[in-house]
Amino acid sequence: MTDTRIAMIAIVVEDRNCTNELNQVLHEYGSFIIGRMGIPYREKSVSLISVALDAPMDTISALTGRLGNIQGLTVKTAYSKV
C-alpha cells in the first residue's frame, strides 16, 4: 500500500474562461478528492475553491502542477503532517 498524505489545495479563479479546463483536471483526480468547496466572490469577480485530498505525494504534486499551468488560476497547497 502506498503512503498517502492529506492536503488542501487553495485555488483562486481570476478568469472564468479557465473553469472548463480546471474542472476537467479535477475530474481526472476525482478518486483522490475528499471534498471540494467553491465560493463565488462577485464583488471582486473571482471564485475561491478549496479541494481536500488524500493521495500519494507525487499525485498531489502532479495535480498542483497541472492546475498551476492553467492560465487564470492561482494555486497553493498545504500538506498535513499525518
Condensed to tens digits (0 to 9), the pLDDT of residues 4-38 reads 999 999 999 999 999 999 999 999 999 999 999 99
Q: Residue 5: what are its φ and ψ, rounded to 5°?
A: -125, 155
pLDDT averaged over every residue in the chain: 95
Query: What's the CATH fold of domain 5-79?
Result: Alpha-Beta Plaits (3.30.70)
Cα 1 from chain centroid (whole Å): 24
- Give residue limits of the domains in the chain: 5-79
Give the three cell numbers for residue 32. 483522490
pLDDT at 1 exceeding the cut of 80:
no
